[in-house]
Amino acid sequence: MKIISWNVNGIRAIDRKGNLAELIEKENPDILFLQEIKAKQEQLSPNLKGSEPYEQHYFSAEKAGYSGTGLWVRPSSTGAYSVKTGIDKYPDNEGRMIRIEFGNYILLGGYFPNGGKSEEAWQQKLVYYEHFLDEINSLRKSGKKIIFTGDLNVAHNEIDLARPKENMESIGFLPEERAWVDKLISQDWVDVFRAIHPEEISYTWWSMQTRARERNIGWRIDYFFVDRNLFSLVQDIRHLNDQMGSDHCPVVLSIDIR
């Protein structure tokens, strides 16, 4: 099964420019998770609501032009499935998490808070992290096989951003955020890209304001994590650095789902 995660930074723009169609045609994913769709259902083109052989699901933010997640599913690959939004015990009016369940698997795709707008936003980011970790641990304990992906809005280690020394006090690379990723890994959640490519320098986000992508001054903040018990099923993971349309690039996971 091929699963792709992409923070599109506006789904209507990548649809209009043909970037989404380009990705679908080239990669032919079984499941596609989208973040920062920045649109409500009524704003979506017919193509975004009915593009066979996929079925489309969206979780929009209440605030117009902000956040939101999406999910494209090829039913012939998954069989019967169900979709749920949000995480338990955390009110979500920003459309941050969407999931699909089929068989014994649950796959989650999320757009995690940035936390940089205010002290309150920063504290809410940390709260969200903990609620999410509780959620996936609870799902795993119930016997489900868990994969999660998305824009976590944190670079874990110095290898994961081009200029670590200059960003030691920057949101997205603060000790508390990085410690949460340490906690994930200590609880047997595997950062698939780093586990397979321990020394590879590759980024998934670049600032559009400074033309950073042209110079590859980026951050790796988009991930796939799997339960350690599923890691042996992973076949490949790639960053599609040449895919244009957003300030993020898609991440592709190939895994032998049984």
Q: Supply the residues annotated as catalytic.
A: 151
For residues 24 and 147, what is the distance between their CA atoms, to the nearest angstrom? Answer: 21
Q: Tell me, letter by letter, the H, E, C secondary structure of 120-163.
A: HHHHHHHHHHHHHHHHHHHHHHCCCEEEEEEECCCCCCHHHECC
**Count of C-beta atoms within a 10 Å radius of residue 200:** 11
- Quickly tell me which residue has 């698939």 as its tokens: 192
Q: Which residues of 82-103 are buried (b: 16+ CB within 10 A; e: fewer)?
A: eeebbbeebebebbbbbbbbbe
CB contact at 8 A, 68 and 61: yes
Q: Tell me if the bond preceding 198 is cis, omega within 30° of 0.
A: no
Widest Cα–Cα separation across the chain: 48
